[in-house]
Amino acid sequence: MATVIDGKAVAQTIRSEIADEVRLLSEKYGKVPGLAVIIVGSRKDSQSYVGMKRKACAELGIKSFDIDLPEQASESQVIKHVHDLNANPDVHGILVQLPLPKHINEEKVLSEISLGKDVDGFHPLNIGKLAMKGRDPLFLPCTPKACLELLSRSGVSIKGKKAVVVGRSNIVGLPASLLLLKADATVTIVHSHTSEPESIIREADIVIAAAGQAKMIKGSWIKPGAAVIDVGTNSVDDPTRKSGYRLVGDVDFEEASKVAGWITPVPGGVGPMTVTMLLKNTLEGAKRNIEQNN
């Protein structure tokens, strides 16, 4: 049976490390990291995710700046808030909760975030530096960073290994493949137009699944002893649950856990780590900023 990687436990360890560093910053410079979250509209999933971030900030001593805008807020209003936060020296990280309402151009808004405060790591310059050899972005995107952190803290070496990333989104698949490449893996990306994906996945020492397809990857697709990081969060009907549904990953956990060497569960794997990496990015941004100015 595979070793189940407990994302909650790893996240807790990292959070206590962050809290210690926040305390040191406060004692040494009298300043703490500040994270601003802009949310437009009242989508339930966005609201609950933002609630989680605020709670986590409070627990670690990070100052929260909350900008809640109505669904009908204009693009220029959102950009004005971004500019105000760029200019605020107490804010070290700015996060715009996606998706934005249809009438707002996401790319335009995100490119207005100051590079030094782009804690989501989605600014084209941060992604560009991630793609280039010998360059380091100021911030790494949170979910891919979480995936690699889970591998390294579980003792999985990446150098020289065959890694397959399933999915090529700007948020997970693409940056995860670039991060693996930076860590000296040999990387293949499997996507919706890939023929015979299972034969490619079967060769992988490391699989990062981020396709958004419930249980797409079967146990028979996994190489014995491989490390499997499942980013997928898909709801499937389950009449036995009060909610009427349950969450499953892109990997068939029951089957794959009998073959893999390491595997993350859904929920409880990558999810708790993603918010933690956001907080770590905010701390890193604050340290850079505060130490430069003192």
Q: Order of strands across the sheet with 34-40?
A: 63-69, 34-40, 93-96
Bridge partners, 94 (sequence order): 36
Q: Are strands 162-166 and 93-96 parallel, antiparallel or unpaired?
A: unpaired
Q: Where in the chain is the domain with CATH 3.40.50.10860?
A: 30-114
pLDDT for the residue 255: 98
Half-sphere exposure of 119 (CA within 13 A, CB side): 31
Structure tokens at 137: 């972005």
Q: Where in the chain is the domain with CATH 3.40.50.720?
A: 142-271
CATH class for domain 30-114? alpha beta
pLDDT for the residue 44: 79
Tens of each residue's pLDDT in the chain, 294 residues:
999 999 999 999 999 999 999 999 999 999 999 999 999 998 777 788 788 888 999 999 999 999 999 999 999 999 999 999 999 999 999 999 988 999 999 999 999 999 999 999 988 899 999 999 999 999 999 999 999 999 999 999 999 999 999 999 999 999 999 999 999 999 999 999 999 999 999 999 999 999 999 999 999 999 999 999 999 999 899 999 998 989 999 999 999 999 999 999 999 999 999 999 999 999 999 999 998 888
Contact 38, 78 (CB under 8 A): yes
pTM above 0.85, yes or no: yes
CATH number of 142-271: 3.40.50.720
Marked catalytic residue, from 31, 97, 145, 161: 97
pLDDT for the residue 243: 87
Distance, CA of 32 to chain centre? 23
Instruction: Reply yes or no on whether 252 is catalytic.
Output: no
Instruction: Reply yes or no on whether 97 is catalytic.
Output: yes
Marked catalytic residue, from 31, 117, 120, 161: 120
Instruction: Reply yes or no on whether 102 is catalytic.
Output: no
